[in-house]
Structure formats: structure tokens, C-alpha cells
Amino acid sequence: MCRTLLLSLVLVLPLTAAEPARFPLWPDGAPGAKGTTEEHQPTLDLYKPDAVPANGCAVIVCPGGGYGGLAKDHEGVQPARFFNSLGITAYVLHYRLGATGYQHPVPLQDAQRAIRLVRSRAAGDAVDANRLGIMGFSAGGHLAASTGTHHDAGNPAAADPIDRLSSRPDFMILCYGVLSFDPAITHKGSVSNLLGERQNDPALIDFLSNEKQVNHTTPPTFLFHTGNDQAVPVANSLRFYEALQKNNIPAALHVFQDGPHGLGLAQDDPNVKIWPTLLQGWIEKNGWLKPG
């Protein structure tokens, strides 16, 4: 009981953090960029723990927005500051969007580059390159899941040393994610924004239905959804979890009876707001809060 109370207190304390440092994914300009302004140059915002010591664990946060926008505050800044309260270093990813002309595979390339870049900066940011997770909300959950099911070990012959590093996250946190592109359960706006004129291509739909791409290399995963989500049906998380189970991937799934889409940390919902505490317990259980 005491431990539960302590975990709950973490969530009601102010989630403070120093102002983030922003840096580009590609210092010399992103490949395929259509311009030089913010929407054309993907970036990471770095949030370092300041109230508690950093423990080496890190998480890249992908805000949602249907691949048409970014919910930067409640699905970006707020989760980053929550992680900081646990001693976890957080990075909020500003990836390129279909709404500004960037369709698949560009957002996935941005997320993969973010993972490689954080690994390349690990020593300077006091991060353990082997305790790096990715988190995504809604369409950001699709992007995060895509990194966990479409990853590589890096190109050892690449001219850029960052591209020689692995793009596989060590764990995933998927929050009411658009995890399938199956027309029966997907969020059609996300599919349209990400694929454009190719949104009816059956091979591409299959490739980006991430529950179909889970295999033995998929990272351990935490999933959270609400049962009556009207925007992204809970079947997305159920199918992904089932695929993880079939492949013997460690996973936790929490489905709450009620709650609208886009809850973020859900601190205003008395029934759902416990989910970050459950996430903290899962991270602790799997050993990512301390060096292996």
C-alpha cells in the first residue's frame, strides 16, 4: 500500500523540467526536405531531469495528430516532464507530416533517425544507449510501432556514423495507437495523410498494419487504450497485443472501460489517470530504470 501511495504522489507533484534544448535530426538539412522552415526540418526537443538524478533511461515521445498535426503539449511536453520526474531523459520528436507534403516513408525515416541520433548522443546526454524506448500517442503510436516492427541494425558502410547505429528501440509505449491500417478498425484520416494517393494500395496497407509485422525481434511493449474510444477503436491495441503474445514478446495491455480519445496523461479523468503509474511499474519491472 505504501508503494502504491508513493507512486501516486509522483503524479500529483508538479512535473517540472528545465527548458528543452532543440536540435535538428540532420544538421545539414533533412533528406527530401521541401523547405528550410520548421515544418520541413524534423527536430528533437531534449528534456533532462532536474528535480531527480538522471538514471540513464531515455524515451523518445511521438505526439499524435493524425499525421496532419502534432499535439505537442499534452502528448509531448507533459509526458516528457512525467518521465523527467522518474529520472528518465525524454526527447519530443517533431516529425514531418502528410499535411505538409511528407508521406510514407518520410515520418518513419524521421523516427528511425531520431533513435540513431539519440544513441549517437548517449554519452553527452547521460543516456544508456541500450535503455532507449519510444512512446507514441494515436498516429504517433503508429509511428512508434512502425519503428519497433520496421527496424534495422544500421549500415556499417554509411558515410554518416549516425546511420551506422541501430534504429531498434529497446521498448515501446503505445497509447491509444493507430496500430492497424485495416479499414475495419483504423483511423482513416491517419491513413489518408500518411499515404495520400496510395491509401488504397493493399500491399502498403498490409505493410503498415503493424500487428502483421510483429516478430521475435519486436521490442517489449506497454499498451494503453479505452474501450469506447470513438476515433481509434480498441481493436488496434487488442490485435497488436495478440501478435506480441504469439511471438512471446513481453507485453502489458491496459484497457479502461471509458474515456475519450486523446487523453494524454489523463490527469483530469479520475478513472484513467492511474495509467502512468502502471507504466512506471512496468518500466521498473523490466529493469530500464537502472543499468543492466
224-231 mean pLDDT: 97
Residue 150 CB contacts under 8 Å (≥ 6 apart), including other chains:
108, 213
pLDDT at 290: 84
How many separate domains does the chain show? 1
Q: If DSSP codes are grouped into helix, strand and coil, which group holds residue 252?
A: strand
* 255, 286 contact by CB (below 8 A): no
Residue 290 lies in a domain: no
Residue 179 lies in a domain: yes
Residue 89 lies in a domain: yes
**Assigned C-alpha cell, 166:** 541501430
Residue 292 lies in a domain: no
Residue 264 lies in a domain: yes
Give pLDDT tens digits for 171-214: 999 999 999 999 999 999 999 999 999 999 999 999 999 999 99
Q: Which domain holds residue 139?
A: 2-285
CA 157 vs. chain centroid, Å, equals 28
Give pLDDT tens digits for 241-288: 999 999 999 999 999 999 999 999 999 999 999 999 999 999 999 999
| pLDDT band for position 131 (cuts 50, 70, 90) | very high
Residue 216 lies in a domain: yes
Compute the distance between CA of residue 213 and CA of residue 203 in angstroms, rounded to an integer: 13
Confidence (pTM):
0.93
Compute the distance between CA of residue 213 and CA of residue 210 in angstroms, rounded to an integer: 5
pLDDT over 50 (residue 79): yes
The residue written with cell numbers 546526454 in the block is: 125
Residue 10 lies in a domain: yes
CATH of the domain at 195: 3.40.50.1820
* 279, 222 contact by CB (below 8 A): yes
Buried b (16+ CB within 10 A) or exposed e, 13-37: eebebeebeeeebbeeebeebeeee
pLDDT over 90 (residue 10): no
CA 66 to each of CA 28, 190, 223: distance values in angstroms, whole numbers, following the listed order: 28, 4, 18
Q: What are phi and psi of 97, to 5 degrees?
A: -125, 150
pLDDT at 72: 95
